[in-house]
Amino acid sequence: MKHTRALYPGSFDPITNGHIYIAERAAAVFDELEVSVLINPQKQSTFTTEERCEMAKEALAHLPNVTVNHFGGLLVDYMKQQKFRVIIRGLRAMSDFEYEFQTALMNRQLSPDIETFFIVTEARYSYISSNAVRDIYRFGAVVPGMVPPIVERKLREKFHRSE
Ligand code: PNS
C-alpha cells in the first residue's frame, strides 16, 4: 500500500477555524499532512513565521498525522526537496477560484509531477479569512467561532486588548 503524503501551504496569518477544518479533512484522507507556513520577505505579515507556526501547531495538536513546518521560495522547489507530490488548498467561494486556478496551473507548469487537490469548505466557514479576522480584532470587535483559543489570545496580545 502506498503511504500518501500531502502539503497544505499558506500564509496562515493567523490560522483560522476554516484552515483547521480543511486540515482535518485532508488529514482524514492522507496518511501524513504537513501544514507549511510561507516565509514571505516581500509581504509584511502581522505575525512572525515563528508565531504563525506556534499557533498552527497548537491548533492542530489534536491531529496526530499532521505536522507544521515553514518554507520560503517557490512552493514546488520545497515540495521536491521534501518529496511531496500533493498540494492541498481550500476553496471558500468562486472568488477564490480564479487565483487558485492560476496558481495550480503555474505550479503544474513548473513541476508536472505535482497535483493540487482542492477541498471545498462548508458554508459556516465560507466567510472566514485571516484578513477579516485581523481587522476585527484590530478594531476591537470579537466574533466567536472564527479562530481557535490560542489565536484569539495572540490576537488580543498583538492588538493590546486585555479583557
Ligand atoms: O494563504 P495564502 O496566502 O493564500 O497562500 C498562498 C501560497 C503560500 C500557497 C502561495 O503564495 C505560494 O505558494 N507561495 C510561494 C511562492 C510560489 O511558489 N509561487 C508560485 C505560485 S504562482
Cα-to-centroid distance, 11 and ligand 1 (Å): 8
pLDDT reading at 162 higher than 60: no
Residue 1 has pLDDT above 90, yes or no: no
Check residue 40 and give its pLDDT. 86
Q: Whose CA is nearest to atom 21 of ligand 1?
A: 103
Return the domain boundaries, the chain. 5-126
pLDDT band at residue 34 under the 50/70/90 scheme: very high
Name the closest-CA residue to atom 20, ligand 1: 74
What does the block give as the cell for 47? 505575525
Going by C-alpha positions, the residue among 117, 134, 22, 39 that lies closest to residue 78 is: 39
Q: Is 25 exposed, middle or buried (0-12, 13-18, 19+ CB in 10 A)?
A: middle
Q: Can you tell me the distance from the alpha carbon of 128 to that of 23, in angstroms, rounded to the nearest whole number?
A: 15
Atom of ligand 1 nearest to the CA of 87: 9
Q: Any bridge partners for residue 32, and if so which?
A: 5
Task: Check whether 163 has a pLDDT greater than 60.
Answer: no
Q: What is the spatial distance between Cα 113 and Cα 135, in angstroms, rounded to a whole number?
A: 38
For the domain covering 5-126, report its CATH number: 3.40.50.620
The predicted structure's pLDDT at residue 2: 84
